Structure 1
Amino acid sequence: MALTGKLETETEIKAPADKFFKIFRSQAHHLPNICSDKIHKIEVHEGDWETQGSVKHWSLTVGENSESIKETVDQIDEENRSITFKVLDGEVLKDYKSYKFTTQAIPKGEGCLVIWTIEYEKASEGGPDPHNCLEFSVNITKDIESHLLNA
């Protein structure tokens, strides 16, 4: 059984790609207001809201579980509207040795296609695949879409 894996999901939304990307690029501090039932708090621990290498601490609810993660912005690709985050600490690392997630917004008509990718290495054979985190990503994508369309 493979210990490393990659999961991906796509969600088409009516909000523009640039606006969706901007939320994660420089306005993550708005996420607790946009999806308050899922993301409760985000604090900057090192750096700022925009700089690659900055470290943030998130308090969130994934499924039925309250969790916290500390992540760093690993890579920013302005041209492709893509950001990769690397998890440094938190409950998710009980099941995974390494965990990265990427969001990308690809323009499609007046809206966009949002792609979430999770790359991980399980801490042990038989450990879970992070399907619940993909579902979480789709749900916050829909919350962000609603926010951007009503703004």
Structure 2
Amino acid sequence: MGLKGKLIASIEVKCGGHLIHDIFHTNAHHVPTISRAFNRFEIHEGEIIKIGSIISWNYNDGGQNKFTKQIIEDIDPHKKSIRWKIIGGDVLEMYNSFTIAVACEPQWVTWTIEYEKKTEDTSEPLIELGIILDLNKDIEGHLVKN
């Protein structure tokens, strides 16, 4: 049927992947001041950033305000990785499940999106991947500048 899929994108970074991991692991609340697309971060349950914490983001997708609510499923400080599962928001209108993971190496950041479409006609989440890669570029630019 082809309803499940996975998108993986690796991007080279000048600032060091560990710094990008640190932003998401301990300073996610700064993302709205760094990013052009993400404009709000909120913790609903738990704390920055612990497994089981429930967080949300407001972001701009082509001029439309969007919302995503996520639970932190996994954090590996040694591998510099974090995995978020979407539990609410706009993305779940088109997908039954949606998980985002980031793994940071010294010069590379790899983003993985795993998803299950609601219908065969649903497109792959290339727009969502683009938003994430733009976010990565915004964070890198901020870290290199500072």
TM range (shorter): over 0.9
Q: Percent identity?
A: 35
| Distance in 1 separating the partners of 2:88 and 2:30 | 22
Give structure 2 stretches of 5+ with no counterpart: none
Deviation at 1:124, TM superposition (A): 1.4
**Runs (4+) of structure 1 moved beyond 2 Å?**
62-65
Question: Partner of 1:60 in structure 2?
Answer: 59
Contact 1:102–1:118 (8 Å) recurs in 2: yes
| Distance in 2 separating the partners of 1:44 and 1:97 | 23
Contact 1:63–1:132 (8 Å) recurs in 2: no
Contact 2:16–2:108 (8 Å) recurs in 1: no
Q: SS of the residue aligned with 2:116? A: strand
| Distance in 2 separating the partners of 1:50 and 1:134 | 22
Question: Partner of 2:87 in structure 1?
Answer: 88
Deviations 1:31-71 (A, max 9, x none): 00000x20010010001112111001110012333210100
Q: SS of the residue aligned with 2:15? A: coil
Report whether the alignment pairs 1:9 with 2:4.
Answer: no
Question: Partner of 1:28 in structure 2?
Answer: 28
| Distance in 2 separating the partners of 1:47 and 1:140 | 24
Give structure 1 stretches of 5+ with no counterpart: none
| Distance in 2 separating the partners of 1:19 and 1:137 | 16
Q: 2:120 pairs with 122, 125, 149, which one?
A: 125
| Distance in 1 separating the partners of 2:116 and 2:135 | 24
Contact 2:98–2:115 (8 Å) recurs in 1: yes
- Matched pairs, number: 146
Contact 2:53–2:71 (8 Å) recurs in 1: yes
Alpha-carbon RMSD across the aligned residues, in angstroms, is: 1.0
Instruction: Output the amino acid matched with 2:47.
Output: D
Contact 1:86–1:101 (8 Å) recurs in 2: yes
What's the TM-score once normalised by structure 1's chain length?
0.93
What's the TM-score once normalised by structure 2's chain length?
0.96
